[in-house]
């Protein structure tokens, strides 16, 4: 069996590297032979029983640990969970839910989804899945999702408690394909200015993006804000297709190159539908990988303005190696370079992931996130844009054209403590759950909600009271005022999301965003030129 497994791995390597030269050493002194002998020794002679699968997995993880921070191993379950958000859909019952007082509460049902079709409604409490009680037993979110999701066409019996109805209602739901959307929001933020926020780059991102663009054009969009804040990346192809929409024929988007991987160029094809639309890209320290490719391509080709803070700096290319049991090795094989020649990847020490993980915290301590004067570059990091030959800097990530400092006074220490203890979210969830019907009755449209709704003082008072029980208090009245101002925006945004969707959430939230405000300011100046 071991021999068969080894042969399958070898065949996999040959097929994966069909276009590259592969050196395989099976001699008596080879590392591969040494590793195989170690595994045989452990499995056959170790004093206690061992899990051979775990021994091998730990060995793989140990090998990768001493390489770069992004070479990883995932088992079959981890691989499936990692890939699912980018695949465009999953199979399940089609509900959005929250956990309130250890009970699953349906927030929304997917339109025309399997749950909506059988009559499940927002506010319903799912207490039974098949014959398993899931309410009041402290079952974690992942285990609940495992029970609700399943193969398309399979049936699941749900026991539901509904307000105003005595006893438990039983529903049989046939699982189906449920779409996963990577666009958080798309709307006209100001007359003639469209706003689109991408959460990640998945298989269907380009299709969704262009559908949103078409709708915004119909509403009179003449300029576009492309928000890639907190976008952790995704598929390279999706990033290339998005960037292609803005660039001229043969414009470089990104190229990759590695020790054993020859340079590969990704260029625009000249068929983009947004080549004449002024674009403003929003980024922050959590914008990574594919998000950096798009923002870097637009910046280096002098195609639009990038606004915000230096991006994460994830410029390592991982090639997936799928193993026979469904597990996967994602191995770094090359670097990403944007058109000016800058490598996206920030510096790192091999094998020191802790130092790598501290990078963002170090940026905050060094003042980079809050003060542009704290940002320094050496002459060796100088690069120039393609068309206008503007000076830009390498060193990892994409430094924006317009820097927007992180306002640490908005998000106070008191607020952070409230969030850490989940006091705000717990109070919000209970409030919406108790008042959903009344809110929908009072606010028939989002426009009326946006203009008229004010967060009740009773909610913020309740949050402060719950905080006191946890011995969490503001240091003074000024911190309390700042916290309450910020919290009201947060709560109003969350209520909007619960009653409608993420687009409505961002329509509220963006009104206090310093990066969005800066983009609107830059657009106004450009319009007056």
Domain-located, residue 41: yes
Q: Is 340 left (phi over 0), alpha (psi -120 to 50) or beta?
A: alpha
Q: What is the pLDDT of residue 84?
A: 63
The answer on 150 and 38 residing in a single domain is no
Residue 224: beta bridge partners? 194, 279
The answer on 222 and 296 residing in a single domain is yes
Question: What range does the domain containing 163 cover?
Answer: 89-179
Residue 459 phi/psi, 5-degree rounding, is: -70, -50
Domain-located, residue 58: no
Q: If residue 413 lies in a helix (H) or strand (E), which one and from where to where? A: helix 413-420
Residues found in the chain: 529
From 68, 124, 230, 300, active-site residue = 300
Q: If residue 98 lies in a helix (H) or strand (E), which one and from where to where? A: strand 95-100
- Residue whose tokens read 């993980």: 357
**Could you give the number of structural domains in the chain?**
4
287 carries an active-site annotation: no
Closest residue by Cα to residue 442 from 452, 427, 432: 452
- Tell me the pLDDT of the chain (529 aa) as tens digits: 444 444 444 444 444 444 455 555 556 667 778 878 888 888 888 888 888 888 888 888 888 888 888 888 888 877 877 766 656 567 889 888 878 778 888 877 877 788 888 888 888 889 999 888 988 888 877 788 888 888 889 999 999 988 778 888 898 999 988 777 899 999 999 999 999 999 999 989 999 999 999 999 999 999 999 999 999 998 899 999 999 999 999 999 999 999 888 999 999 999 999 999 999 999 999 999 999 999 999 999 999 999 999 999 999 988 888 888 888 898 999 999 999 999 999 988 887 878 888 888 888 888 888 887 777 777 778 999 999 999 999 989 999 999 999 988 888 999 989 988 889 988 988 898 889 889 999 999 999 999 999 999 999 999 999 999 999 999 999 999 999 999 999 999 999 998 998 999 999 999 999 999 999 999 999 998 7
513 carries an active-site annotation: no
Antiparallel, parallel or unpaired: β 252-257 and 328-337? antiparallel
The answer on 200 and 349 residing in a single domain is yes
- Distances from the Cα of 190 to the Cα of 183, 234, 306, 518, angstroms: 19, 29, 19, 13
Identify the domain boundary among 351, 383, 406.
406
The answer on 431 and 393 residing in a single domain is no
The answer on 100 and 41 residing in a single domain is no
Domain-located, residue 326: no
Domain-located, residue 321: no
From 267, 314, 492, 518, active-site residue = 314
Identify the domain boundary among 136, 157, 179.
179
Six-digit token pair at 20? 């590259």
Q: In this structure, are residues 288 and 69 in contact, taking their beta carbons and an 8 Å threshold? A: no
The answer on 483 and 438 residing in a single domain is yes
Return the DSSP state at 10: H
Domain-located, residue 499: yes
Where helices occur in 443-513 by DSSP H, the ranges are 446-452, 457-469, 477-499, 502-509
Q: What is the pLDDT of residue 2?
A: 47
Q: If residue 244 lies in a helix (H) or strand (E), which one and from where to where? A: helix 236-244
Six-digit token pair at 316? 């390592």
From 287, 289, 295, 340, active-site residue = 289
Q: If residue 226 lies in a helix (H) or strand (E), which one and from where to where? A: strand 223-227
The answer on 305 and 382 residing in a single domain is yes
Question: What is the arrangement of strands in the sheet containing 183-190, beginning at the earlier edge strand?
Answer: 183-190, 193-198, 223-227, 279-283, 304-308, 402-403
89 SS3 class: strand
**CATH, residue 145:** 2.30.42.10
Identify the domain boundary among 148, 179, 210.
179
d(CA 11, CA 406): 50
Q: What is the pLDDT of residue 192?
A: 97
The answer on 422 and 400 residing in a single domain is no
The answer on 257 and 141 residing in a single domain is no
Closest residue by Cα to residue 155 from 170, 141, 140: 170
d(CA 121, CA 134): 18
* Torsion sign (Cα): 344, 348, 351, 355: negative
The answer on 187 and 166 residing in a single domain is no
Domain-located, residue 111: yes
Q: In this structure, are residues 71 and 57 in contact, taking their beta carbons and an 8 Å threshold? A: no
Antiparallel, parallel or unpaired: β 304-308 and 279-283? parallel
The answer on 165 and 232 residing in a single domain is no
Domain-located, residue 73: no
**CATH, residue 247:** 3.90.226.10
Domain-located, residue 113: yes
Six-digit token pair at 86? 């980018």
The answer on 203 and 156 residing in a single domain is no
29 carries an active-site annotation: no
- Distances from the Cα of 177 to the Cα of 94, 98, 113, 283, 284, angstroms: 8, 21, 9, 32, 33
Give the burial class of 112: count Cβ atoms within 10 A of its Cβ; 0-12 exposed, 13-18 middle, 19 or more buried.
exposed
Q: Report DSSP letters for 254-287, one per residue.
A: EEEE-SSS--EEEE--S--S-TTS-EEEEE-TT-
Six-digit token pair at 219? 């509403």
């Amino acid at each position: 069996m071991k021999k068969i497994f080894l042969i399958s791995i070898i065949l996999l390597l040959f097929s994966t590297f069909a276009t590259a030269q592969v050196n395989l050493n099976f001699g008596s002194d080879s590392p591969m032979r040494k590793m195989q002998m170690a595994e045989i020794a452990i499995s056959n002679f170790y004093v206690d029983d061992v899990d051979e699968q775990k021994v091998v997995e730990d060995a793989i993880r140990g090998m990768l640990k001493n390489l770069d921070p992004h070479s990883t191993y995932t088992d079959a379950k981890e691989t499936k969970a990692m890939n699912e958000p980018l695949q465009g859909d999953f199979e399940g019952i089609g509900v959005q839910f929250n956990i309130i007082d250890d009970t699953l509460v349906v927030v929304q049902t997917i339109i025309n989804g399997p749950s909506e079709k059988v009559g499940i409604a927002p506010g319903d409490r799912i207490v039974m899945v098949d014959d398993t009680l899931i309410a009041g037993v402290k079952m974690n979110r992942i285990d609940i999702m495992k029970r609700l999701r399943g193969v398309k066409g399979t049936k699941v019996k749900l026991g539901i408690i509904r307000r105003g109805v005595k006893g438990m209602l039983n529903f049989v739901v046939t699982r189906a394909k449920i779409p996963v959307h990577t666009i958080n929001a798309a709307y006209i933020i100001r007359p003639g200015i469209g706003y689109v926020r991408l959460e990640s780059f998945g298989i269907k991102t380009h299709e969704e993006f262009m559908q949103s663009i078409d709708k915004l054009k119909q509403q009179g969009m003449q300029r576009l804000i492309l928000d890639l804040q907190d976008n952790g990346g995704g598929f390279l192809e999706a990033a290339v297709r998005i960037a292609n929409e803005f660039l001229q024929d043969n414009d470089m988007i990104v190229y990759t190159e590695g020790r054993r991987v020859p340079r590969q160029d990704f260029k625009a094809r000249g068929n983009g539908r947004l080549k004449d639309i002024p674009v403003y890209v929003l980024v922050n320290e959590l914008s990574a990988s594919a998000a950096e490719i798009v923002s870097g391509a637009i910046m280096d080709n002098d195609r639009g303005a990038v606004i915000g803070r230096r991006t994460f700096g994830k410029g390592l290319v991982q090639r997936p190696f799928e193993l026979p049991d469904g597990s996967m090795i994602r191995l770094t094989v090359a670097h990403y370079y944007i058109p000016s020649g800058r490598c996206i990847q920030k510096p790192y020490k091999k094998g020191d992931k802790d130092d790598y993980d501290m990078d963002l915290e170090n940026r905050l301590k060094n003042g980079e996130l809050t003060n542009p004067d704290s940002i320094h570059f050496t002459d060796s990091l100088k690069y120039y844009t393609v068309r206008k030959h503007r000076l830009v800097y390498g060193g990892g990530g994409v430094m924006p054209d317009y820097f927007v400092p992180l306002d640490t006074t908005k998000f106070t220490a008191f607020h952070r403590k409230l969030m850490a203890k989940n006091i705000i979210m717990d109070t919000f969830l209970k409030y919406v759950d108790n008042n959903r019907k009344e809110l929908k009755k009072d606010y028939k449209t989002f426009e009326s909600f946006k203009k008229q709704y004010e967060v009740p003082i009773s909610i913020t008072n309740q949050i402060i009271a719950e905080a006191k029980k946890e011995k969490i208090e503001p240091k003074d009245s000024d911190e309390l005022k700042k916290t309450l101002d910020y919290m009201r925006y947060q709560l109003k945004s969350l209520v909007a999301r619960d009653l409608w969707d993420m687009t409505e959430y961002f329509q509220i939230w963006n009104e206090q965003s310093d990066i969005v405000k800066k983009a609107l300011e830059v657009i106004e100046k450009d319009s007056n030129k």
